[in-house]
Amino acid sequence: MSARPVVFAFTGASGAPYGVRLLEQLATRKVPVSLIMSSHGLRLLQTETRIRDLGGLRTQVGAAAFDKYVTVFDDADRGAAPASGSSQSRAMVVCPCSMGTLSAIAHGTSRSLVERAADVALKERRKLILVPRETPLSAVHLENMLKVTHAGAIVMPAAPGFYHRPTRIDQLVDFMVARILDHLDVPHDLVKRWGSKK
């Protein structure tokens, strides 16, 4: 099971730091990743971080870990491995997940590799974690979240808690990344757990 990759999609919702940190954690923890970045996801990365392109993302994650554990797929290539149920994966995460992507997943339109890979995760009954970051939420957004939840996805809004008394932005990011890693069954020590004395 551990050799199966996590399909990791990065789309155009605000929240690039969550995606970058999650990719860092997966790669440094030796989890194989099939990375799909939408064009809007790349633009968001440039807007919200100092990362300009995939080369910059590779540098941020760490070149050695990126080269060994991350395989990049073109979002326009709907014939790539993540588009097929016969290509095994352990789970899929869309982080951050735009409302457009969530809508496409909810309605099964699969116009891109990101959307098709999510469709595959649902039909194959694999874990699908969607991390939207939007506010306020319209009735359409909420209905789509309920629809994907009924279909088997986990909707995990980027809404960090404060009971650990964060004093820095990176602690808020780590809170969310830790929750995602928990759902992927990836061990970590990013945050103090509720009730823990350590």
Nearest to 132 by CA among 13, 10, 9, 6: 13
Amino acid at 93: V
Orientation angle between helical segments 99-107 and 113-123, nearest 10 degrees: 50
Q: How far, CA to CA in Å, does 49 sit from each of 16, 92, 182?
A: 7, 23, 25
pLDDT of residue 196: 73
Residue spans of the chain under pLDDT 70 = 1-2, 197-198
Q: Give residue limits of the domains in the chain.
A: 6-183
SS3 at position 15: coil
Q: Cis link prior to 136 (omega < 30° from 0)? A: yes
Give the integer Cα–Cα distance in Å for 73 and 38.
10
Cα–Cα distance, 12 to 6 (Å, whole number): 19
Superfamily for domain range 6-183: Flavin prenyltransferase-like (3.40.50.1950)
Predicted pLDDT at 1: 43
pLDDT computed for residue 194 by the predictor: 80
The residues near 159 (Cβ < 8 Å, ≥ 6 apart) are 176
Residue pLDDT, tens place only, 14-30: 999 999 999 999 999 99
Please report the pLDDT score of residue 198 as a whole number: 59
What would the two tokens of residue 188 be? 């970590």
- Is residue 95 within 8 A of residue 12, CB to CB? The reply is no
Which pLDDT score is estimated for 156? 98
